Each structure stands twice: as structure tokens, then as C-alpha cells.
Amino acid sequence: MTDKQQNAGRSGRDAFTSSLGMLAATLGSAVGLGNIWKFPSMTGSNGGASFLFVYLACTVVVGLPIMISEIMLGRKVKANAITTLRKLSPKGQPWGIVGVSGVVAAFLILCFYTEVAGWVFAYIFKGLSGSVLTTDPKVASAAFASLISDPMQAIGWQWFVIVFVSIIITFGISKGIEKVTMRLMPILFLLLLVICARSLTLPGAEKGLEFLFTPDFSKITGSVILMAMGLAFFKLSIGMGTMMTYGSYFRDSQNIPLTAGRVVLADLVISLLAGIAIFPAVFAYGFDVSAGPSLLFITIPAVFASMPMGQFFAVLFFVLAAVASTGAMLSLFEVPVAYLCEARQMSRKAATMTTALLVMLLGAPAALSSSMTKDVKIFGLTFFDLFDFLSSNLCMPAGGLLICIFTGWVFGKDKFKAELTNHGLIKNEAIIDSLFFLIKYVSPLLVAVVMLNMLKVF
């Protein structure tokens, strides 16, 4: 009997069919615009290597233990995030609410993520026609503004992306998500290496590497730690049921800590490679490294336009970003789709269409944040920034904190150990003990301090 038949036979659900497939899908969720858009722009505007150092610490101490816990809880129950937490809750305790907050966070992220992904897809075509390639940052900036402030284009590209991802989702876990991410991940690595090679061979490239790898610890402030923690949550797709949902499709024989460790490491390498692809080129052509989010759509096209064979590499770069965003969006879609299928008894097609329609509806105000809704401000933020803020800085850290408390104090050490040693089959007790210590005491404390700091309690 194949692994897939074993899985299906036991639970009647579709599931990942191979170890490599589980790795590719999980990595596909972690890797995304976060590596190519958020990581370089945040590193660029927060002091380079010192930010990288804090981000690394947050990833290892907080990110990895939460990712492992989420996958473990999902695999134990083999259900969507809401059902998983409801089933594991002791009588009368409302832990299912953490799953609900996860589904809400998935929608919030999808609302702005599909918009940025839409710009990326648009830039592939605009790059091919050469219309966004100019060495003058002012012209590049005007080209980007004309895309995001045109309601038809902004909505059109967002819908294009939503339909594209929905089609893959309807094929299911093994034939859709697993198959696609197994093909996309090697392509992503290859494209990134080609662009790194181009960037590193430009005269003056060393300055970019120096910027990325020489730490200046005086730059570490409270707000830098807050941002690094938020980025770690966003990057690793944790605190909102995504990893729990993917964990529910894991095989019982999979070594969860090892898979999660590999995902975190590979994700980090991809972020660093993205930094190596971007910073040397930005320095070589004398552009501003702290351009923030516009780095991707204004600075990068201008940098590429300045170099030999620039159009080719610019198109390659945006194909890379589109590939990365696809794996992440698949995992975001899967959170509500799994819930609608299992708890609301919808067919996969109906669940996907419902999710897609909701994202189109709720995402429209975010897509129009630079045009029709640009003057609507809630807490001083446009819809686009509000959705980003609420998901990355509120839902994900709060969800992460509650998952730590649930795992450490409710689920408990014995079950944690049994699940992660695959009931004694894997000899990794020392690692599991340290992980449990982190998840019970260290990670929740750190997340709580950072959140209280954000709420200006200190």
C-alpha cells in the first residue's frame, strides 16, 4: 500500500504523499513576498546586518518552536485549524477561537497579499514590454503610481491572481498544492542563483555585501525588535493556523522537527540570497537601500534597467517573485477552504469559490487604497495598511502566543513528546525537551513582551 493510500484509508482525507512533498509545500508557504519584498526592504531601512541578527534570534527562539507545535497539533487531529483546536480543548475551554482568529487573519492577509502579488504579475508583462524599465527613479516611480492608482488595473490584476490560485486549489492537496510546490521550489532556487550571480559580478558589489553582513548593534532598538518579530511570524506563516492546516495533511511517520528545521533553514537561505541578489546591485548603481516597500517596484526596475541585459534579468526577477508568492497564497487559501469543506460540508470547488469571492469582495478596498479609497483612513491607515497591520502585528503574534500557551500548558509535555518522537520511534528526546522549554516559557514570554511594548504598555 502506498503512503497516500495509507493516509486516505485512515482518515478519508486527501494528504501529502511524500516527504519531499511535505517539505516543498511547507517551504512554499514560508517562502513568498516576505523574502523578496518585506525582508530586503525591512533590512534595508533598519540598519542591515543588525536587523538580520535580531530577526535570526526571533526565528530560532520563537518561530521554529511555534511552527513545530502547529504542525504537530494539525497532524494529531487531521482536521482544519478550528476543528483541531476545538477537539483538543478540555471541556468548556474556548480554544477554538484561536482557529477562528486564524481564518480571519488568512482573509486579512489575502486581501493585501493578492494585491501585491497582482503588481508582481503585472510587472512581468510590463517588464516584457519594457514599459517599467527606466534608469530614472522618478520615471520608475510614476510608472508604479500609474499601476496602483488605476482602479481597473489594480482590481484586474488582483482578480487574475485570485483566479489563478483558486484553480490550483481545486485540484486538492496531493494533485494541486503538493504537485505545484514541488515544481516551483527548484525553479525558485535556480532563478535566485542566476540573479545573485548577475548582481555579485557588478563592479562595486562588495558594498552591498558589507551592508548585509556587518552588524552595527547600536541600531537595535525596541521598534527594531518588534518589526523583526512580526517579520518572523509573517515569514514562517505561523500564529494563524496555516501550519496547523498543512500539518493535518502530514504523514504520521514524518519527522516534524526535522522537516520544520529544514524549512526554517531553507527559508533563511532564500531570504539571504534575495538580499544578495538585491543589495549589491542597489549599491553598485548608487540607489537608496532604505527605500522601504517601494524597493521592489521602483528601485529594482531602475537597478535592472541600469545593467547589461537588464530587461532579461528584470523579467526573471518578477517571475521569481510570482513563483514565490504562489506557494504562500496556496497555503493562505487552504486555511478557509479546509474549514468550509470539513465543518460546513462544502465541496472543494464550492469552498474555493466562496473563499475566492470573499477575497475579491474584501480585497477590493485594499486594492483601491491608492485610488478610490485612498482618503478613507481607519486609525490613520488605508485599508491596505490596516489589513497588513492587523494581521502581522496583532492576529499573528496573538495567535502565536495563544498557541504557545495551549501547547505548553494545556496539551502538555507527555503528549508533546509522544507526538514529536512519533511515539518513541525517533530518538530525539533532548531536542524535544529543549523545544518544550522554549514553547512553555521562553517563546510566550518574548511574544508577550513584544506585544505589550507595541501596545505602549511599557
Binding residues for ligand PFF, rule: CB under 6 A, are 29-30, 32-35, 109, 234-235, 237, 240, 242, 328, 331-332
Q: Find the shortest distance in angstroms from Cβ 264 to ligand PFF.
A: 12
Whole-number Å distance between alpha carbons of 122 and 142: 15
Whole-number Å distance between alpha carbons of 42 and 154: 24
Which CB atom, from 126 or from 235, has the smaller least distance to ligand PFF? 235
**Residue whose CB is nearest to ligand PFF in the complex, by number:** 34
Alpha-carbon dihedral of residues 369, 372, 377, 380, nearest 10 degrees? 50
Which CB atom, from 325 or from 443, has the smaller least distance to ligand PFF? 325
Burial of residue 145 (CB within 10 Å: 0-12, 13-18, 19+) is middle
Q: Answer for the pair 43, 214: CB distance below 8 angstroms, yes or no.
A: no
Which CB atom, from 35 or from 174, has the smaller least distance to ligand PFF? 35
Nearest to 207 by CA among 305, 135, 281, 291: 281
Q: Find the shortest distance in angstroms from Cβ 289 to ligand PFF.
A: 20
Nearest to 411 by CA among 141, 85, 97: 85
Nearest to 242 by CA among 332, 329, 326: 332
Q: Find the shortest distance in angstroms from Cβ 335 to ligand PFF.
A: 7
Q: Find the shortest distance in angstroms from Cβ 184 to ligand PFF.
A: 13
Which CB atom, from 73 or from 133, has the smaller least distance to ligand PFF? 73
Which CB atom, from 54 or from 396, has the smaller least distance to ligand PFF? 396
Burial of residue 5 (CB within 10 Å: 0-12, 13-18, 19+) is exposed
Which CB atom, from 55 or from 283, has the smaller least distance to ligand PFF? 55
Which neighbouring-strand residues pair with 381?
A: 378
Q: Find the shortest distance in angstroms from Cβ 338 to ligand PFF.
A: 12
Q: Find the shortest distance in angstroms from Cβ 51 to ligand PFF.
A: 16
Q: Answer for the pair 293, 37: CB distance below 8 angstroms, yes or no.
A: yes
Q: Find the shortest distance in angstroms from Cβ 263 to ligand PFF.
A: 11
Q: Find the shortest distance in angstroms from Cβ 148 to ligand PFF.
A: 19
Q: Find the shortest distance in angstroms from Cβ 218 to ligand PFF.
A: 28
Q: How far is CA 429 from CA 60, 410, 414, 437, in A?
A: 18, 20, 11, 12
Nearest to 51 by CA among 218, 224, 209, 223: 224
Which CB atom, from 307 or from 396, has the smaller least distance to ligand PFF? 396
Which CB atom, from 30 or from 291, has the smaller least distance to ligand PFF? 30
Which CB atom, from 302 or from 395, has the smaller least distance to ligand PFF? 395
Which neighbouring-strand residues pair with 378?
A: 381
Q: Measure CA 367 to chain center.
A: 19
Tell me if residue 322 falls in helix, strand or coil: helix
Q: Answer for the pair 397, 451: CB distance below 8 angstroms, yes or no.
A: yes
Please state, as a whole number, how many other Cβ atoms lie within 10 Å of the Cβ of residue 141.
18
Whole-number Å distance between alpha carbons of 11 and 15: 9
Q: What is the DSSP secondary structure assignment for residue 175, as one 8-state letter? A: I
Which CB atom, from 184 or from 302, has the smaller least distance to ligand PFF? 184
Q: Find the shortest distance in angstroms from Cβ 325 to ligand PFF.
A: 7
